[in-house]
Structure 1
Amino acid sequence: MYLYLLLFHSLIRWLVILFMLVALFKSWDGLLKGRVFSKTDDRVRHWTATVAHLQMMIGIVLYAKSPVVNHYWSGAEPAGQGSGASFFPLIHLLLMLIAIVVLTIGSAKAKRMLTDHDKFKTMAIWFTISIILIMIAIPWPFSPLSQRPFIRTF
């Protein structure tokens, strides 16, 4: 089950990024052009947060089942991982949790704003901060923190 969840988590990452980019485009476009905040904009806001929350829940299950995390917390010496040994147990976990909290706050605040300008502005600011954190915390193949392939396979 762990490997299937890991594959699913790796694939959903792209869905989260796609939703975030669409939400960011719509929020910045709406803010800069003074558009009306439409039902589509609200749906994008809602589904971006929902997909990110789904990804977080899968990540939490993976965290509990991960041999890398369990090895780290057992106190054993990391086997040839250097500073990357703490990436998944600490850095990835904390940055992603903070990113989802920021995204959730931004989504909730945008939903409650009274003017269209304030809705777009709130989404643009909070979602931008969130995607920056997400992009830092993803283990890209070129990351100095920890490397994983763009698409994980078995």
Structure 2
Amino acid sequence: MYQILLPLHSLIRWLVLISLLFAIYRAYYGRFKKLDFSTFDNTIMHIAVKILQIQFCIGITLYFISPIVRYFLNNFKTAVHLREMRFFGMEHITMMTIAVFVITIGAEKVSKAKTSEQKYRIMALWFSIGLVLILSSIPWSFSPLTSRPGFRAF
């Protein structure tokens, strides 16, 4: 199961990033052009949130079956001082959980907002904050701290 979920998690991260970037683009574009919040914008927002939540479910499952996390939890006093172990055992899951909550709360606030201007403003702000949290917590292939390949093969 781990050998399937890990590449899937790696692949879906790109869908998360693309969908969030497009939703944020639509939010800023609609806000600055003073457009009505359309059904298309609402659909884009919900698609981005659903992809993110699917990714989160896969990530939580990986967290509980990962050998790295198992080592981290079983050897906490030692592992907390090892950058890669700490990143996957504590930092990555914490920041991604916060990001999912921020984006999900933002989407809920958009749904309750009355005007198009409010909807675009809320979506732009909350989704942008969530995206920054996500970008800061992805183990990028170019990161000197903890790196993973951009794509994993199945």
Identity of aligned residues (%): 39
TM-score (norm 1): 0.95
Matched with 2:41 is: 41
Q: Which moved more, 1:69-78 or 1:31-40?
A: 69-78
Q: Please name the residue that 1:135 is paired with.
A: 135
Q: Secondary structure at the match of 1:139?
A: coil
Partner of 1:16: 16
Structure 1 counterpart of 2:42, one-letter code: D
Q: 38-47 or 142-151: which moved more?
A: 142-151
1:60 Cα deviation from its structure 2 partner = 0.4
Deviations 1:7-60 (A, max 9, x none): 000000000001001100000000111011000000011111111000000000
What TM-score does the superposition give when structure 2 sets the normalisation length? 0.95
Structure 2: runs of 5 or more not aligned: none
User: For residue 90 of structure 1, what is the aligned residue in structure 2?
Assistant: 90
- Runs (4 or more) in structure 1 with deviation over 4 Å come to none
Amino acid at match of 1:82: L
* Structure 1 gap ranges (5+): none
Distance (Å, rounded) in 2 between the aligned partners of 1:132 and 1:46: 19
- Output the CA distance in 1 between the equivalents of 2:87 and 2:37: 39
Deviation at 1:82, TM superposition (A): 3.4
* CA–CA separation in structure 1 for the residues paired with 2:94 and 2:152: 22
SS in 2 for 1:153: coil
Tell me the distance in 1 between the aligned counterparts of 2:73 and 2:136: 23
| Aligned-partner SS, 1:142 | coil
Q: Which residue of 2 aligns with 1:100?
A: 100
Distance 1:118 1:144 in 2: 40
Deviation at 1:146, TM superposition (A): 1.0
Partner letter of residue 71 of structure 2? Answer: H
Which residue number in structure 1 is paired with residue 28 of structure 2?
28
Shift of 1:75: 1.2
